[in-house]
Amino acid sequence: MSDIIRINNLSFRYHNKFVFEKLDLSIRDGEWLAIVGPNGSGKSTLVKIIVGLLKFDGTLIIDNMPLSTYNIPHIRKQIGVVFENADDYFIGETVADDLAFALENLAYSPNEIEHMVLDIANTFKINDILDKDPHFLSGGQKQRVALAAALVTNPKILIIDDALAMIDENEKEEILEILDKLHRDRNLTIITITHNLAETYKADRMIVINNGKLIIEGPVKAVLQEDKIFNRIGIEIPFMVDLSIKLQLYGLIDHIILDMNEMVNTLWK
Ligand code: ADP
């Protein structure tokens, strides 16, 4: 698989304080990568760099193009980003307007726009709220609309910057299922930025950063085993991960089990 994002020797500082020094990181085309780190570790700065909002030293290649002033418009079209405070980014008076906005800018015909809006609304199960004002929706619905708006133009990469933090667990689970399907069916590359390990379970790979340094990376379940590292940097360990690690110490299971039913069935055998 080829890399869709390649970061080499990246350094960035605000005033005199370095956030990143010679960071290397590659993300494969079609990969779901979770980037985990405590507050202040550099996660949002990295997102801003990737979408071309901050000047940096080093190389950043996205979709086979070096990020440069000249290439930013092309690269931006390949990236959808959703932030925690979706409210700040709604432009339209209705959900439908909001979804159509980016398509109008790209000069699609009214027919194509209608088709694409309905298609993404189906995917995120928001057909019944297309005529509502997005500002008055529930937190979960707002994030569905924000995700749909980020993906309506079919970008290759979706970045979720802490955007699931404020929604309830059931809603979060449903949204993650939808994203998982898009990831599989459309080969969508997803980058989840979070300090909540429970949001990483569906990712293929996790990297953990602290003070701008990559401290561990690997398949999600392998990295989740590193409870001492998470404790040290102040990342909370979800109940099922903690339970799995303890049961492994007693030899009762031999891998991380994140689903309670699966745990019960495994212990019962
Ligand atoms: P995270 O998203 O992981 O919470 P950030 O990328 O926001 O981390 O911040 C990384 C570091 O850069 C922190 O030490 C933070 O205080 C600092 N920082 C972030 N934004 C600015 C800014 N606009 N000016 C100066 N320092 C900043």
Cβ neighbour number for residue 87 with a 10 Å cutoff: 13
Three-state SS for 64? coil
Which residues touch 179 (CB under 8 Å, ≥6 apart)? Answer: 147, 158, 160, 188, 190, 202
Q: Measured in angstroms, how far is the CA atom of residue 200 from the centroid of ligand 1?
A: 22
Pick the atom of ligand 1 nearest to 47's CA: 6
pLDDT at 262: 94
Query: Are 49 and 10 spatial neighbours (Cβ–Cβ below 8 Å)?
Result: yes
Three-state SS for 124? coil
Which helix (DSSP H) or strand (DSSP E) does residue 167 occupy?
none
Note every long-range contact of 102-109, with CB atoms under 8 Å and residues 24 or more positions apart, other chains counting.
102/149, 102/152, 102/153, 103/152, 103/153, 106/77, 106/153
Pick the atom of ligand 1 nearest to 48's CA: 6
pLDDT at 1: 63
CB of 250 shorter than 6 A to ligand 1: no
- Residue 6: closest CA among 75, 73, 85, 59: 59
Sign of CA dihedral 78, 101, 167, 195: positive
List the chain pLDDT tens, one digit each, 269 residues.
699 999 999 999 999 899 999 999 999 999 999 999 999 999 999 999 999 899 999 999 999 989 887 888 888 899 999 988 877 888 889 999 999 998 998 889 999 999 999 999 999 999 999 999 999 999 999 999 999 999 999 999 999 998 888 888 899 999 999 999 999 999 999 999 999 999 999 999 999 999 999 999 999 999 999 999 999 999 999 999 999 999 999 999 999 999 999 999 999 87
Which residues touch 137 (CB under 8 Å, ≥6 apart)? Answer: 95, 129, 145
Pick the atom of ligand 1 nearest to 37's CA: 3
Q: Measured in angstroms, how far is the CA atom of residue 212 from the centroid of ligand 1?
A: 10
CB of 47 shorter than 6 A to ligand 1: no
CB of 37 shorter than 6 A to ligand 1: yes
pLDDT at 147: 96
**Which of 35, 36, 41, 191 best tests ligand 1's pocket when mutated (most atoms within 8 Å of CB)?**
41
CA atoms within 13 A on the CB side of 13: 6
Query: Hey, what are 75's tokens?
Result: 């690269």
pLDDT at 107: 86
Which residue has its alpha carbon closest to ligand 1 atom 26?
A: 14
pLDDT at 88: 80
CB of 39 shorter than 6 A to ligand 1: yes
CB of 211 shorter than 6 A to ligand 1: no
Query: Hey, what are 251's tokens?
Result: 């030899």
